[in-house]
């Protein structure tokens, strides 16, 4: 009888230990998820400090708001954290440029391909080729390439596009709509731009 009781007691202890372990694991998972969510929310609504000088330099050169560039970067690729940074429509890189907007719609393949183009890689990043075809691509870092995958080049190229489409004249919504033909997109960009500007002014 004592052996049976001991076995029962041991079984109960084992079950209790297993339940405690499961509860502890679940609690740990919940804590980790909550922490991750908080970190993600903070990251997604605050501008990464390393990118600010790039936005500011591009904005100064093209006479637009650097908060606007930060907002585009946030909405397009969540500050370059969205992978693989190629949209279903064919937009590429951290600022999600359509290849034909980057290189220029005068490029022979562009009118036939809905903005994706059939552009050789060497031509896609060639400043001379881009200039010839009226594109917005910019070699911002002076490495001889205007690369839509390079953040600095991409941000300056976006600034170039937005400025040319009205942003430098105060017509930001018009410029944003030209960048992405969606009223919801325009609203999202303006909302983030205003949020970033308020946060910055409060902190500085």
- The stretch 89-102 carries a mean pLDDT of 97
Determine the angle formed by the axes of helices 183-203 and 66-77, rounding to 10 degrees.
Answer: 120
Predicted pLDDT of residue 21:
62
**Poorest-pLDDT segment among 14-18, 39-43, 83-87, 184-188:** 39-43
CA distances for 164 relative to 116, 136, 158, angstroms: 21, 9, 10
Res 41 pLDDT > 70 = no
User: Is pLDDT at 40 greater than 90 in this prediction?
Assistant: no
Three-state secondary structure along 166-182? Answer: CHHHCCHHHHHHHHCCC
pLDDT (tens digit per residue) in 13-34: 565 666 666 556 455 545 455 4
Q: How far apart are CA 14 and CA 134, in angstroms?
A: 74
Helix (H, G, I), strand (E, B) or coil at 125: coil
Asked if residue 159 and residue 199 are part of one domain, the reply reads yes
d(CA 157, CA 147): 9
Distance CA 158, CA 179 (A): 9
- The stretch 66-81 carries a mean pLDDT of 98
The reply to whether 69 and 112 lie within a common domain is yes
Q: Identify the band that residue 46 occupies on the pLDDT scale cut at 50, 70 and 90.
A: confident
Question: Cα–Cα distances in Å, from 137 out to 8, 177, 201?
Answer: 75, 19, 31
| Same-domain check for residues 76 and 142 | yes
Place of tokens 């009118």: 111
Q: Do 46 and 197 form a contact (C-beta atoms < 8 A)? A: no
Same domain, 22 and 72: no
Burial class for 140, CB neighbours closer than 10 Å (0-12, 13-18, 19+): buried
Looking at every residue in the chain, the average pLDDT score rounds to 87
Q: Which domain holds residue 7?
A: 1-45
Pick 17 or 136 by higher pLDDT. Answer: 136
d(C-alpha 57, C-alpha 173), whole Å: 21
Q: Summarize the confidence of residues 187-202 as an average pLDDT.
A: 96
Asked whether the predicted pLDDT for residue 43 surpasses 50, the reply is no
Query: Please, which pLDDT band fits residue 197 given cuts at 50, 70 and 90?
Result: very high
Of 19-33, 80-94, 143-157, least confident by mean pLDDT is 19-33
Query: In the prediction, which pLDDT does 80 show?
Result: 97
Task: Identify whether residues 30 and 54 lie together within a single domain.
Answer: no
* 39 and 97 part of one domain: no
CATH of the domain at 198: 1.10.530
CA torsion through residues 163, 153, 128, 96, sign: negative
Has residue 7 got a pLDDT over 60? no
Q: Residues 104-115: pLDDT tens digits? A: 999 999 999 999
Percent of the chain past pLDDT 70, that is, above it, reads 78
Instruction: Specify whether 190 is located in the same domain as 133.
Output: yes
At a CB cut-off of 8 Å and minimum separation 6, what does 57 contact? 140, 156
The total number of residues written for the chain in this structure: 204
């Amino acid at each position: 009888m004592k052996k049976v009781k001991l076995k029962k007691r041991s079984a109960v202890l084992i079950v209790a230990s297993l339940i405690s372990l499961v509860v502890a694991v679940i609690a740990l998972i919940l804590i980790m998820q909550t922490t991750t969510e908080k970190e993600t929310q903070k990251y997604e609504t605050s501008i990464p400090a390393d990118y600010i000088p790039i936005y500011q330099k591009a904005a100064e050169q093209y006479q637009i708001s650097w908060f606007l560039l930060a907002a585009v970067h946030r909405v397009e690729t969540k500050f370059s954290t969205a992978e693989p940074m190629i949209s279903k429509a064919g937009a590429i890189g951290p600022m999600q440029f359509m290849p034909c907007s980057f290189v220029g719609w005068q490029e022979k393949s562009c009118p036939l391909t809905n903005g994706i183009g059939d552009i050789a890689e060497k031509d896609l990043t060639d400043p001379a080729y881009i200039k010839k075809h009226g594109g917005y691509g910019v070699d911002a870092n002076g490495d001889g390439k205007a690369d839509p995958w390079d953040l600095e080049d991409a941000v300056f190229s976006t600034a170039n596009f937005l400025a040319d489409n009205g942003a430098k004249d105060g017509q930001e919504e018009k410029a944003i709509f030209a960048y992405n033909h969606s009223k919801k997109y325009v609203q999202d960009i303006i909302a983030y731009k205003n949020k970033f500007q308020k946060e910055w002014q409060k902190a500085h």
